[in-house]
Structure 1
Amino acid sequence: MSDFEIDAVRALLGSKPRPVGLAERRERIEAVAGHPAAPDIALETETLNSVPLEWSLAPTSDPSRVLLFFHGGGYCSGSIKSHRGMATEAGRAAGARTLAVGYRLAPEHPFPAALEDAKAAYGLLLDRGYAPSRIAVGGDSAGGGLSLALMISLREEGRALPACAWLISPWVDLEMTGASIETKAAIDPLIHKAYLQELAEAYLAGADPRNPLVSPLHADLRGLPPILTQVGSAETLLDDAVRITGKAGAADVAASLEIWPDMIHAWPLWADRVAAGRRALAAAGAFMRSKFA
């Protein structure tokens, strides 16, 4: 049975078709995605190597804990603004401060720019005195893939890893080989193969799509911290979530997968109007709370 609240989001998305131009697409995601921060959220901004950062803190959160958040948008769009509602409420649910990263976007800044910015932001947290055991990393779609790439890169460099990772509808296979790319195409209102191929080409700029730092599905995941992956049953990236969770589990990573019936890609973006989005954020928050030292 369909969820009437997510159906309203589907109608919103259908009323604003995706434009062709990159600038217009970036404007559209801010027009259709998410919601502003709640009035009780304290926001602070700064820049790191010209990359915008936004700190947020709910009144009941512990400022010694932090969620390092990376927005989705296929590495080509999305922003702190488009994901502010989800990022700030995820921090509230986790009882932590949130640091949202406006990493550089393709095609102007292809791989590895986003990963470099993610690593710089993690380094900033360590420099500010945050213990790795009190840091969670997470994000939706491309932000989920970037969260995994960050942890893989940190592990390869012998650096301390965060306490856990939270992935929403993660994009972990830039070759788009999952069966759900085809089987869910008719019901996914956001993500389709041709669109993903366009985004992947822009981000890769000639890089190998099987590089584990762009497609973590091909990575050795051993030694990573606990991972919670949440995905909707009505999205073409369903198989990305299923396969990355299975691979993590096979590598002895504590990996959990939640498949939410009827939900579309990155549905917690609309948590202000979709109860299932609020429940997903609550579940993610409980997971992160349980992993913080």
Structure 2
Amino acid sequence: MLQRTDLGGGGLRSTVLALALRATVRPVITAWTLAPRLPWPYGVVDHAGRFLRPVRDTGYARYRLPHCSATRVTPPEGSATGRTVVYLHGGAFLVGGHHLHRQLLGRVAVRTGAEVLAPQYRKLPRHTVSDALADALDAYRHALDHGADPTRTVLMGDSAGGFLAVMLAVEIQRAGLPAPAGVVAMSPLVDMVAGDVPYPGCTLFPRSAIGRFQALAARVEGRAGRGTDPIDSPTHAPRRGLPPTLVQVSSAESLYADGVRLAEALADAGVAVELEVWDRQVHVFQAAAGLLPEAAAAIERVGDFVERVATGRARLRAVG
């Protein structure tokens, strides 16, 4: 079942943010698309997040997984709900880490009252997308091993992390682990096959950017001896029996069609899906919740979804 909701946007603050990103971030991404094989300093990008102040009264700590580090964000004292969010950050499988997403993680923790666990998964070009997914599965196992109730646990991610969140739900099913209560995918990348779908440009991404990301991922996968088969994706992987899913996407971003295709594919497989289309917002606008009223409203709706699905009551597994 697919429930689509079209929401507002495109206000003055959204326009100013879009212009600022077009003038600063987009030229860097454009330069990358011209020479993606250069030794770009991907790790430096995360340190830009040091300028972002942590959300007030939230706690931040680090811990280790088998192949990567991870961040644990706790909600303000007295507001914990016993819920857990396993969060997979975006960044085209190239950038991101402890700092760049800490405000967004903090806002999720405050709104949901959940402990947020965010693996800093292995990234391109040194590691494969399959490695990133393996790290995400390790994070979920870690959460279960340390007392997380799967019926009160939600998988969440943005952009490339949206891809990982949905594919993690698939991997959990394949591994025979207890299913999480739900999935939230913000502006998710869906396909990892270059050329399958033409992507328009947007505020952040020039027209060729997504294809370059896909080609790089496929090249690294092949270099690692994983063969030439396309990387499994949420629209091709088995989807029946996956938990309720919320997809948030902007009508003005390059990945708008991906979000819609994901929602439709999940609904066709019998998954309960809520698709929210926000008008004229930038890619992963939710990260600007301290600036944009639309972003704050989107995080509020994410919290509403988490409250509906992560109730602690065991759900019957879909059959068919």
**Bigger CA drift: 203-212 or 142-151?**
203-212
Identity fraction in percent: 28
Match for 2:88 among 51, 58, 70? Answer: 70
| Structure having the higher Rg | 2
Match runs of 1:14-93 below 5 Å: 14-16=22-24, 17-18=27-28, 19-20=31-32, 23-24=40-41, 26-28=43-45, 31=48, 35-59=52-76, 60-62=78-80, 64-93=82-111
- 1:33 CA displacement: 11
Query: Equivalents in 2 of 1:121, 1:24: separation in Å?
Result: 26
Runs of 4+ in 1 over 6 A off after TM superposition: none
Question: In the alignment, which residue of structure 1 is the partner of 2:117?
Answer: 99
**Structure 1 portions without partners, runs of 5+:** none
Distance 1:26 1:201 in 2: 21
- TM-score scaled by length of structure 1: 0.90
Aligned counterpart in structure 1 of residue 253 of structure 2, from 232, 235, 239: 235
Stretch of structure 1 that moved more, 14-23 or 139-148: 14-23
Q: Point out where structure 2 has 5 or more consecutive residues left out of the alignment.
A: 1-8, 33-37, 313-320
Bigger CA drift: 86-95 or 192-201? 192-201
Counterpart contact for 1:34–1:269, Cα < 8 Å: no
Q: Say whether 1:267 aligns with 2:275.
A: no
Question: Match of 2:16?
Answer: 8
Select the residue among 209, 214, 217 that pairs with 1:195. Answer: 209
Map Cα deviations across residues 127-171 of structure 1 (whole Å, 9 max, x no partner). Answer: 101111111011100000001111111112222111000000000
Secondary structure of 1:69's match? strand
Contact 2:58 2:75 in 1 (8 A): yes
SS of the aligned residue for 1:62 comes to coil
Which amino acid in the other structure matches residue 61 of structure 1? S
Aligned residues: 286
- 2:306 is paired with a residue of what secondary structure? helix
Q: For residue 285 of structure 1, what is the aligned residue in structure 2?
A: 303
TM-score norm. by structure 2 comes to 0.83
Cα pair 2:83 2:115 within 8 Å, conserved? yes
| Residue in 1 that maps onto 2:317 | none
Provide the C-alpha distance between the structure 1 equivalents of 2:239 and 2:116, rounded to a whole number of angstroms.
25
C-alpha separation between the residues in 1 aligned to 2:229 and 2:10? 35
